[in-house]
Amino acid sequence: MEFRYLGNSGLKVSEIIYGNWLTHASQVKDDQAIKTVHAALDAGITTYDTADAYANQAAEVVLGDALKGQRREGIEIFTKVYWPVAEKGPNDVGLSRKHIFEALHGSLRRLQTDYVELYQAHRFDYETPLEETMQAFADLVHQGKVMYIGVSEWNADQIREGHKLASDLGIRLISNQPQYSMLWRVIEKKVVPTSEKLGLGQIVWSPMAQGVLSGKYLPGQPAPADSRAANEEVGQFIQKFMTDEILTKVQKLAPLAKEVGLDMAQFAIAWVLQNPNVSAAIVGASKPEQIASNVAAAGVEIPKEIMKKVDEILGDSIVTDPERTLSPETRPA
């Protein structure tokens, strides 16, 4: 495993981060989830990302159980706040001071820890003054319950404003967690340059475009019965990539992956790590052997000519519009 600094902070994270968005307490039984986390630990992954909204708080419970007994100083735990949770009442959502405080204390109980290394605003909250949100984060940092602050899917203007308020309050806003892959590059034009200037690093999710870049989905053929695309509950996130045109182009990436000694999934992860503003890539897994395979992407340098060929193959299927970085205009119910 290789390690990188998270933004311009002194915190190092594993290049591959284990995330439990669509797996723990939903797709994978708890005993299997715990085995997969232990496989991640064995593979050298020290950083673990979750959120209170994942499986409506249950994913944090599974991760807490899986990490129980580990040397706390040897791992980094990240979680998030924003989406509706628990009974989904009027204050069980958003980035108000009330919800942030209650959400963090709930996360700490479920994760069985006294603090988290990174607490992230899961989206931007248009209904709460940003000053209130950042003051709440600052108070938690000063209490020692949170070490650093991050955001997820904030646009460049929101990051800039949040960073200024955080600096004024004496805390560090060090990261953004956006979707990023060979096919989805909406952060490159505005978010990345802003983050580089301000000292934020990207913790990217869906580096394999929900599994499309693994090459397992073939044009003109139905999705495998046990795949994410065939799952009605979570398949909505992958549908934008499931066209015959995109799937045909993805198959043409296989020789490039082979040329650098990787399979297609590893190649997709290694590709996002070529961006110098990316601190780490989040991967999920339902089986221990998937983790063992994913970590092979760490530390790989892809030649510039191969990177150029990726662009030529995918062409106009690449999404680059920075306006696609969005948060709900009203809090979701």
Helix and strand element counts for the chain (H, E): 11, 10
Tell me whether residue 251 is in a domain. Answer: no
Tell me whether residue 37 is in a domain. Answer: yes
Tell me whether residue 81 is in a domain. Answer: yes
Tell me whether residue 220 is in a domain. Answer: no
Residue numbers of the chain with a pLDDT score lower than 50 = none
In degrees to the nearest 10, what's the CA dihedral of 181, 55, 65, 205?
Answer: 10
Tell me whether residue 48 is in a domain. Answer: yes
Tell me whether residue 216 is in a domain. Answer: no
- Active-site annotation holder among 54, 82, 119, 217: 54
Q: Could you tell me which of 259, 267, 274, 273 has the C-alpha nearest to residue 293?
A: 267
Instruction: Determine whether 5 is an active site residue.
Output: no
Distances from the Cα of 60 to the Cα of 28, 119, 203, 270, angstroms: 14, 13, 19, 27
Tell me whether residue 154 is in a domain. Answer: yes
Say how many domains are in the chain.
Answer: 1
Q: Which pLDDT score is estimated for 64? A: 96
Q: Could you tell me which of 294, 327, 314, 155 has the C-alpha nearest to residue 241?
A: 314
Give the range of the structural domain holding residue 192, as residue numbers without chain letter. 3-207+272-300+317-324
> Residue 37 sits in a domain of what CATH number?
3.20.20.100
Q: Which pLDDT score is estimated for 226? A: 62
Q: Which pLDDT score is estimated for 178? A: 98
CB atoms within 10 A of CB 314: 18
Quote the strand ranges of 69-186, DSSP E: 76-81, 116-121, 146-151, 173-176
Q: Which pLDDT score is estimated for 332? A: 95
**Structure letter (DSSP) for residue 44:** T
Tell me whether residue 228 is in a domain. Answer: no
